[in-house]
Structures are given as C-alpha cells and as structure tokens.
Structure 1
Amino acid sequence: MDVKEDSSADWMIEEDLPGSAEPANAAPVLAPWRVLIVDDDVDVHVVTKFSLSNACFQGRRLSFLHAYSGDEAMHILRTTPDVALVLLDVIMETSEAGLKVARQIRDELNNKLVRIVLRTGQPGQALEHSIILDYDINDFWCKSDLTTRKLFTTVISSLRGYANLVEGEQRLAAVQAQLDNSAAFTLDEQQRILDLNDLAARLLGAPREELLGTRLNATVTR
C-alpha cells in the first residue's frame, strides 16, 4: 500500500485517546462500523488501520478488530455478530486458512450479511478466478495492488453493501411482522415468491402478478 513511512508509526495501531468531554447538548455519536482485520502480519494491521483512520460512511466512523489467525477470526465473529466487513488474508497459519474462514462464515455461522474482502501477498499461490467462483466473497485483492485509495473505495463500497442488506433484513422483518393468517405467501429455498394472496401483495406494494417469482428480500428493499 502507498503509505509513507513515519517515524511515529508505533502509535498507528493504538486506539484513539479519549477526547474532551462532549457538550451536554451534543448530537449522539453513531455507533461505528466494525471492521475485522485478519492477517498474521502485524504491519498489515498497522498500515490498514492508518490508511482508514479518517474513513467515515453515513456519519459513522470505523472501529477495528484484530485477528492474527483463522481461529482468532472465528472466535471474534462468533462473539461479535455486528461485524460489517472482514479484510481477510488468504495465507496465514496454512496456505488456505483464509479460505477456510470465508467458508465457515457463510456455512457454519450462516452469516450472509458481513462483507468479505480477501487479500493475498502471494498471488501465485491462489487461483483468483476459481476462488471468486467457489467462495461467497465480495472482493479479492493482491496486497501490492491495494493502494490507500483503492482500499478506501473497497471498504466504503463494502460498507454500503452491508448497510443495504441490513436495511433489507429490517424491512423484511417488519413486513413479516404484519403478516397474519389473512396475509400469506409461499417461498421456495431461494426466497422466491411462489404464491401470495392479495393482502400480502398490498403490503409488499406491487400487483400479485409482478411479485410471483421475485425474491422476497429484493421486493421488500426496492
């Protein structure tokens, strides 16, 4: 990454020091986006956090969690369900440790919301095309290509995707809460609408014929 060397680099990974007391009438501070950095190289943690130190999306700053192995990453993800983004190294304690974590996130934790960005320092050891096809990840980068600007763009676009998914889940829950025995629909395994009655169609805001075959989550979020 294109971060210049700094003689004071030893402070980069430290958490921000508490600031002065906020005025009594200050607007409430929004909870930060949780970003998990998973890499066995401490310098990657330092540079990544420094590069994103001023990042802000939807009025929310970034809060960083750190894991240095696949097992540490899974422990954090099990105990911290609101992680929005995982910046995940491919090669750590094993050559496929990161890939294993990516699969565990989706299959074992059943976490479909968190965005996963794979990073590798050894692109010759990973077949990028097959990884993108075989694993439910959202981006793949060689570390040497991921400049500060590109990292910022990747992180913000990932947070936007996560925010949209969370909003969709919330709207879906609200719609489902309104549905009773008089407003019903049938879904297949891919959450596509197979059948619904007129009341359910009105709640979803579209004619019944247009809703058949569409994904419920996409219908609620549009």
Structure 2
Amino acid sequence: MDVKVPDDESSDTWMIDDDATASAAEQPAANGPAPWRVLIVDDDVDVHVVTKFSLSNAVFMGRRLSFLHAYSGAEALNILRTEEDIALVLLDVIMETTDAGLKVAKRIRDELKNDLVRIVLRTGQPGQALEHSIILDYDINDFWCKTDLTTRKLFTTVIASLRGYQSLLESHRKLEALQKELDETKAQLAAAQA
C-alpha cells in the first residue's frame, strides 16, 4: 500500500498564500486510477482553498485526491444524493446555523443511509460544540478544531479516513457477493425441488 506524504513534510502551518490556485489533484490523470473523491463542506471559501492546497500532493494506494465543494449543508446533501463514490466529507460544524454540520452528518447516516462515507467534522469555534458529546452522539470519524489541524494532521486524518473507507467498501462488496451467492443457491434449490 503506497502513501505519499505531501512534499512539505516539515510544514506544521495551516496558512497559505491567498493566491493559491486549483491543484493537479483537481484533474485526475486520464490513464491512472480514479481519484479518491473528497467533499469539502464549509461556508468559508478560504478553507476550501487551504484544504485543496494542503492535500494537493497526497496519494493513497496509487490514487490522488479529487475535490467536490459545497458551501452550505443543503448543497452538501444535494451532492451526496447524486454522487455515490465520495469517500470522505470534511464538514464544517457551523455554517448557516451553529449546528448545520451536525444536522448534515445525521442526515447522511439516517436519511441518505450512507454508512460508507467517512465524515470528519471541523470547527473554527470549538467552544460552540463539545467534542466528547459530538463523537458519542454522531456517527462521525474524527473531530478537529481548524486551528489545530496542521497540514500534517490533515494529511494523517485524510489517509486514515480513506483507509477506513476502503476497508468498509471491501467488506460491503464481499457481503454483496455472499448475498448474491446465497440467492443463487436458494434459486437452484428451489428449481431442484420443483
């Protein structure tokens, strides 16, 4: 399993130049494996730019990252309804309301019935949401204060989340294959008894 660490391993800073532009990760190689799809949900455009920049050189299992963007909870849910292969959601807690991200996390699991996508909550106002109760009450995979989430920590969190997604996806596929086998066996037994 190959994991490529971002070029600037020594960088422990979350700040970048405001003029940063879309990275090569935004454009998957035509002949390479499909990229991991990451949905960034935040009402702050700068957070989108910083996140893309910080993860621009990340590679996991030979696959780069590709980013989708939502600037509200409603927009995020619309994207998640139409896009089935999103591996990770980096989700701001406080957007249109102080708990918009929490509502989105709950709806991803309960309404959309999506147990595969990994959800990492991020907040710029840690006093507004108690980390312990959020982790216990919501089916999320990690919770970070944006000011604590350095480039290195973001990279580590994303790779761990992608690893979890890949494991769940493999288990889901094996379960589907077993179910198909079971259904075929039942059909053969029913045909033999007829």
- TM-score category by the smaller chain? 0.7 to 0.9
Contact 2:72 2:95 in 1 (8 A): yes
Q: Quick one: distance in 2 between partners of 1:168 and 1:106?
A: 18
* SS, match of residue 60 in structure 1: coil
Contact 1:13 1:45 in 2 (8 A): no
Which letter maps to 1:181? K
Deviation sequence 1:28-58 (CA, Å, 0-9, x none): 4100000000000001000000000000111
Deviation sequence 1:108-164 (CA, Å, 0-9, x none): 000000000000000001011111111000000000110000000000000000000
Q: Output the TM-score relative to the length of structure 1.
A: 0.74
Which letter maps to 1:65? L
Deviation sequence 1:64-90 (CA, Å, 0-9, x none): 000000000001000101100000000
Could you say which residue in structure 1 is the equivalent of 2:85? 82
Could you say which residue in structure 1 is the equivalent of 2:108? 105
Q: Percent identity?
A: 71
Which letter maps to 2:163? R
In the alignment, is residue 149 of structure 1 matched against residue 157 of structure 2? no
Deviation sequence 1:165-211 (CA, Å, 0-9, x none): 0011111111122112299xxxxxxxxxxxxxxxxxxxxxxxxxxxx
* SS, match of residue 64 in structure 2: strand
* SS, match of residue 95 in structure 2: coil
Q: Output the TM-score relative to the length of structure 2.
A: 0.84
Map 1:66-145 → 2, pairs under 5 A: 66-145=69-148
Deviation at 1:16, TM superposition (A): 6.4
* SS, match of residue 53 in structure 2: helix
Could you say which residue in structure 2 is the equivalent of 1:181? 186
Contact 1:39 1:88 in 2 (8 A): yes
Q: Structure 2: 5+ residue runs without aligned partners?
A: 1-11, 189-194
Which letter maps to 2:92? D
Deviation at 1:3, TM superposition (A): 3.8
